[in-house]
Every structure is written in C-alpha cells, then in structure tokens.
Structure 1
Amino acid sequence: ALNNPFAAGSFRWVAKGVYVSGNRAGEDCVCKWFKKGCVMESHFYETDLESSRKAIELISNWNSKGLIDKMIKVNLPEVWEFKNNSIRAGQKVLQEPFIEGYQKFNSNTGWADDSLPWPRVMQALSHFTYHISGGQCLLCDIQGGVYSDGVVLTDPVVMSTSIVYGPTDLGPKGMSTFFANHTCNEYCRAEWLKPRNRQSYYAPTAGTTMVSQRRVPTRTSRPAMTQLGYVYE
C-alpha cells in the first residue's frame, strides 16, 4: 500500500490499508508518512500526537457545552515503526482509522469553506477553541468526514501563543490571520473572545502551511544582545 499512496497533503503521503489484527481487524485504515525532501525529524511524529491530544481536549469542551446536537470526534493516530525484516526497517508512520467522505473545512491560514452548515460549525469550533483557552490556542486546519451522528476529524492543527505544536503551529500571527478572515455565523456566540490584533499575516490557502523551526546555535557563555547598550546592524 505504501508504494501506491492514494492522496497527499502539503508534506505527507497517505496510503490506505486494512487492520489485520487487534480490535479493529478487518477495518480500513490509513498510513501517513513524510515526503522525501521535507526536512522532518522523528520527534515531529510525537508533536502530531500532542496536537491531536490537545484537539481532543478542546473538542471535548465543545461537546460538553451542547452547542449543537451532534458529536465531534478526533482520530488519535498511533506511531508505528517497521520491523527490521522489512525493506522499510526503522521507518515511522502514523496509523489511524480510515474516514469516509473526507473533506476539508478550513486551513491554518484563514481559508474556509463556509457554504454549508457543517463547514460553518467548524469555523465556530475554531473560534470557540480560542475563547475557551483564554486566547492561548486555536484549533484549525479542520478536516474529516461527516456521518449521520456527527463528524470525525483527522490531522487538526493547533496554533498557540507559545508555538509548541510543530511546524504547522503559526502562533499568534496565525491566530490573528484566522480572525482577519473570520466572520461570525449562527453557531458562534457574541461573548466569545477575539484578539485585538486581527491583521492578516498569511495569504489564505486551502493547503496546510508550515514554518521552519530551525534554530541557530548561540554562544550561551555570552550575554544576550538585549543586555547590551548598543547594537550595530
């Protein structure tokens, strides 16, 4: 299946398979892995899981408020590693249940499909997560499948003031960009928080945007530049 991916995101391939053991034996699943040339380290898989866990926490809060009459759930992926007897020995992938009728509702740069009720619900969900977190984070890049009793989401992006959720966490500028493009709808509440800064820092695109998180080594034995009385540029 990995030799014939059926879909691709901005930086990952997606292949479809079937669980062969465990509680989900016989059920369809998807496998996701980073594209070659996309500079990613293995710890980013753990960052993906942290983002999903945070998304579950935020969405559980939404569900508990009874804001709509349907449930929203999130697939929590597992990190699998190929065994040594495989040609892909050591390679890590994200594995999760397959979602029927996959669609994208919004992105992490302010783009949104708000033409139908469920996409508008997702815009309200993004706004709600900013409000309920006290402006500390915002759930976006929301995508998944609509079922008779609700929606199942996958690969959500969490943007945060501290920028701790990986290369798709665009931080305060990303949150500002969301609100620069967001118009409250019938699922939003007037009392929900909004940032003072609602400037757009990114061009709205349907794809997922990443930022480089490469750090430049510094000489820790020397004082920070902010401690100096002068700086030459």
Structure 2
Amino acid sequence: MGNRIVVRKEPSQGVPFKYLFGEQEVNAQDHGLKKVEFDPKPFDGGKFRLAYKGKVFCKEEPSSTLNRARFLNCWTMRRDADRPYFPCIVKQFRRSHAQYAKEWDKDLTVLNKAQDLARKFNKDVRPPVKIQFAGAFLYQVYQPGAEYEQSGFFWPRLEKIADASVQKAEKVCVEPHFEGKFVKANCNNGYVGQFVDPSLGELSFHRTAQAFSHWTWTVTEGALLVCDLQGVMKEGDWQFTDPAIHDAAGTQLYGLTDLGPRGINAFFRTHTCNHICQHMKKPDAVIDIGLPAPIAHVGSTTFSFELVQVSSAVHDQQDFADILDHAHRGTCYAQAVATLVRHAERRIVGRNVEPHHVIADAIVKKHGTKGGCVEPVLNQVCPPRRLRWREVRADDAARCLQLGRAVLCGFHLSDKQWHSFSEFFRRFPSEVLGELPDPSKDVLSGHGCVLIGQDPSMWKAKNSWGDDFGDGGYFRISKKLLEQMQARFFDIFFVEEDLSAEDREAYKNWCRNSHLHTVSTSS
C-alpha cells in the first residue's frame, strides 16, 4: 500500500487588542469575544489587503443589548462541537503596505461613525430598505499558524510545508462573515454600482444606498460623506462592511480611504438623485474644481496613497525630455515652476493651458540658465494667469498632495552630496534615499523639483534630468532627510475671486453637465 498524504492546517490565532473609539476604549473581550482562529493562508485579497476565513469564539451571551447593537451588529452566532462562535473575516495589509496597519483604529472608528449615521437615517428618513454596518474589532496575532503535510499510515511523518502569511504580534481587523451575494453599491472614487435584476428588488436597495451617501453629506452640513458601500442584501436590510468616510477638511481624519474634498467631489460628480434624496440639499461649492474623473468606473476602493499615481499625471514625461539637455541642469527651477503652473491651470475648467516648453522658455529667457530664485519667478508667472502662490511648511505640503496639488520643492547640496545623490539613484533607481554625507564646509548649490506623491515616511518627486535618471525621471527621498536639508516648499493655487468671467462661465457650463451647482471656494 502507498503512503497517504494529508495536508493539515494549524490555524493562526489572535487575542483582542484595545483601540480608541473617540475617547472610549474598545476591546472585543469586553463584549464577550475571546480568541480568533483563522486559516493560515488567505482565500481572497485586493491590491493592498488579504482576507482570511475564521472563527471568533465567544461566551453564550456575548454582550448586553446596547453594546450588541453598536459593536456586534451583523454578527451571527454558530456552534462548533457545542462551542459558540461567530464566523468571521480577518483582514491584513499585504507585506508591501504593512506600515499602514497602524491605521486600523481609524477604520474601526469609520465603521462606528457610519453605524451611528445609519441609525439616524433609518429613523429620520424611513427608507424602503434599512441600512446597517457591521461592527469590527482589532486583534493581535500570537500564533501565526502553518500548513503541514502528513504522510504514511503506521508511522506518520509530519512536515511543515508553508508558514502562515501573518506574523507574530501583527495587528489584524476582524469582521463578521456575510452570507449571501456580496454587492458593491458605490465606491470612494465616484464609482456607482449597477443593479442586475429589478424584479429581485435590487433597484430599491441601490437607490437607498446612493441616497444614504448623499444624506450623510447633507445631515453633517457638508462636513463628511459616507461611501464605499459594500455588503449583502438581506431580508429588507442592507448589511454593509468596510465603508469609507471623506472628511471635507482634508485632514485624513478617517484613515487611508478618506480622500477628503476630492472624494466628496467625486461622489457628487457621478451621483444622480432618486426619489429618496431628490429634495435633499446639494453642494453649493464643489471642492477642487477641475478634478479629473477619479479612476473612473473602477469598482475597487481607492487608498489615499494611490493619489500619488493620480497626481503624477500633471504633465507628459516629454515635457522635460524634449527641451532639456540632460547635462545642462541650470534650468531646473524653470522646469519645476512650469510644471506647477500647468498643474494649477488644469484644475481650472475650460483653461487653454500653454505647452510646458513655452512657459519654461519664457522663464529661462528672463532669469537665465545658471539657476534662479523661485520667488521672483513665481511673481512673474502667477498673476497674469490669475494664480497665487505661497511658501508652506512640510506638513502643509503633505496636505496639498492629499488635496491633489503638486508642490515645488527646493534644496541645496554640496558637490560631495550631489555625487552621492546621483550615484544612489543610478544604482537603486526605485529605492528611497535616506542619508547623505556631511556637507562639511563645501559650497552648496540648489535644485528644484516637483513633489507629486508621498507616504508617511517619504516624498516622491519628479526631477528635470530626463527619463534615464532614477525611476523613469522620478525619485524618492525620506521626509526626515529632506527636513535635515532644510528644504523649502511652494504651493500654487487659485481662488474664485481672481478668476475671469470666461473661467466662471466655463465652470457653470461644466456644473450643468455634471448635475452640480456653482462654485464658491478656492482650489
């Protein structure tokens, strides 16, 4: 007889981890939930997260009625060998984005905030379909688990064939497992889901979901908007999980899926009111006007750090390559200013934006090819185009990027540092530059570039040295190093009062075509 081979799974295990909901400390254990066990390998995943099937073991009566309504909403108890448990989904950030795991507490705050709004919506609006949001908890892995292969009949041999995808002490998010057809009603980037069969009542569900997102903006007086609505349609209820909230202040208060004013604008740009929300207030102001269609008609969640990719489309790569001799770098200031000017004008609906080389050539003709001071250049190019500029701190520069605006950055290095800078990106074009040698008492020379993206620890910049430099003309540098280099940051923007009559009329026409009202804000 041959050997029998069986694959055995040792589940990954975790224990409740405390987090803050406002000023309230939340712990799954306080609600009768015990450890979680889940498969060592994911069953599904997106671009940034992985999902595992699991069980949360619990007490017979896990919580009081009040706490259950808030924190155990949509959880369904089952039994395994007479042990009560909740079927669950465990979510983990992929290794490439593990640094964002510290944002889990914000995700859970979003769920609880959305649930509070849903209860008010159900009570005040009395929609045909009630809306619920699943409660979720934070857990910390203490046993990663593994997969083993057992072979043989009489003397079985056990051999590990794969480690778990999670690591010890890693924090994961635990949500209830939904039974039924999972549907995406809308997304956080303007995408609107399509119902399949009106005879099944799906039309009523979808209209209620879109109206709820609209209503959240109205009831909070424009302060926020709940979207990214996804879940199952069950017995007259929408059961949602993992929503997003856009904060109008643009501070990313609600985590990585909070796209701020850009996200709010994206929703209303594609939203068509139905009988539930047609009498609700709509925006008087559309924030960040001229925003390109946000990853249009893609039904997957957009994370704020993906806006790097959106922002990077501020100019064609050839804008630099066509006009710049790689060996001649004394016009970097002109290239950077020209890029920012074009980026700002493209946010003004109906503007005919001059080619990059026309703007850059005019700057170089006046200010020369041996470097230039940014302030007089900005004073030259901004007023005729009805633009304004300001110098900002690093934290303000980060907020500009979150709002979809590129930022000009200037810094100085010694010859020794320039050599290290160039050599680093020659050898490691897509890596993050984290240190440079001491400049000693060498003479420093300046450089200008355009910041087009970021994550919590680094900036992504567009350089003006051609495609063969760094990562296709781009480079990444740590925020700490740029701070040590005493870099300066400049923002180019516009306000409504400066716009021409033609600009205003073009925007009004765009609003009419987009079901929006007129603008009364700056960008």
Give the TM interval when normalised to the shorter protein.
0.7 to 0.9
- 3-state SS of 1:111 partner: coil
Q: 1:225 to 1:66 in 2, by over 3 A?
A: closer
Partner of 2:190: 110
TM, length-normalised to structure 2: 0.40
Q: How far has the Cα of 1:67 moved from its partner? A: 2.9
CA distance in 2 between counterparts of 1:195 and 1:111 reads: 22
The answer on 1:141 being equivalent to 2:234 is: no
- 3-state SS of 1:81 partner: strand
CA distance in 1 between counterparts of 2:86 and 2:98 reads: 32
**Which structure: greater strand fraction?**
2
Question: Could you tell me which of 37, 54, 61 is aligned with 1:17?
Answer: 54
Q: Which amino acid is 1:89 matched to? A: K
- 3-state SS of 2:231 partner: strand
Partner of 1:28: 87
Q: How far has the Cα of 1:188 moved from its partner? A: 1.1
Question: Could you tell me which of 187, 200, 216 is aligned with 1:129?
Answer: 216
Q: How far has the Cα of 1:140 moved from its partner? A: 0.7
The answer on 1:7 being equivalent to 2:44 is: yes
CA RMSD of aligned residues (A): 2.4
1:58-207 matches, within 5 Å, as 58-83=117-142, 85-86=143-144, 88-101=167-180, 102-115=182-195, 116-162=203-249, 163-197=252-286, 200-201=291-292, 202-204=294-296, 205-207=298-300
CA distance in 2 between counterparts of 1:128 and 1:64 reads: 13
**Does the 8 Å contact 2:39/2:52 carry over to 1?**
yes
Q: How far has the Cα of 1:100 moved from its partner? A: 1.5
Q: How far has the Cα of 1:225 moved from its partner? A: 6.5
Q: Write out per-residue CA displacement over residues 77-127 of structure 1, whole angstroms, 9 at most, x where no aligned residue.
A: 1001112x5453201111121112221111011111243221221111110
| 5+ residue gaps, structure 2 | 1-37, 63-76, 78-83, 146-166, 196-202, 306-454, 458-478, 491-523
- 3-state SS of 1:177 partner: helix
TM, length-normalised to structure 1: 0.85
- 3-state SS of 1:53 partner: helix
CA distance in 1 between counterparts of 2:125 and 2:280 reads: 16
**Does the 8 Å contact 1:158/1:169 carry over to 2?**
yes
CA distance in 1 between counterparts of 2:223 and 2:204 reads: 27
Once the two structures are aligned, what percentage of the paired residues are identical?
27
- Number of positions where the alignment pairs a residue of Structure 1 with one of Structure 2: 223
Q: Which amino acid is 2:240 matched to? A: L
CA distance in 2 between counterparts of 1:9 and 1:118 reads: 25
The answer on 1:210 being equivalent to 2:210 is: no
CA distance in 1 between counterparts of 2:101 and 2:234 reads: 33
- 3-state SS of 2:97 partner: coil
- 3-state SS of 1:209 partner: coil
CA distance in 1 between counterparts of 2:489 and 2:176 reads: 49
Q: Which amino acid is 1:127 matched to? A: H
Q: 1:200 to 1:105 in 2, by over 3 A?
A: farther
Q: 1:178 to 1:82 in 2, by over 3 A?
A: same
Q: How far has the Cα of 1:31 moved from its partner? A: 0.9
- 3-state SS of 2:100 partner: coil
- 3-state SS of 2:51 partner: strand
**Does the 8 Å contact 1:141/1:157 carry over to 2?**
yes
Q: How far has the Cα of 1:166 moved from its partner? A: 1.2
**Does the 8 Å contact 1:10/1:209 carry over to 2?**
no
The answer on 1:54 being equivalent to 2:113 is: yes
User: Which moved further from structure 2: 189-198 or 47-56?
Assistant: 189-198
Q: Which amino acid is 2:52 matched to? A: A
- 3-state SS of 2:57 partner: coil
**Does the 8 Å contact 2:214/2:225 carry over to 1?**
yes
- 3-state SS of 1:19 partner: strand
Q: How far has the Cα of 1:200 moved from its partner? A: 4.4
CA distance in 1 between counterparts of 2:96 and 2:188 reads: 22
Q: How far has the Cα of 1:63 moved from its partner? A: 1.4
Q: How far has the Cα of 1:18 moved from its partner? A: 2.4
Q: 1:86 to 1:111 in 2, by over 3 A?
A: closer
User: Which moved further from structure 2: 34-43 or 195-204?
Assistant: 195-204
Q: How far has the Cα of 1:195 moved from its partner? A: 4.6
**Does the 8 Å contact 1:177/1:199 carry over to 2?**
no
Partner of 1:229: none
CA distance in 2 between counterparts of 1:39 and 1:92 reads: 10
**Does the 8 Å contact 1:180/1:199 carry over to 2?**
no
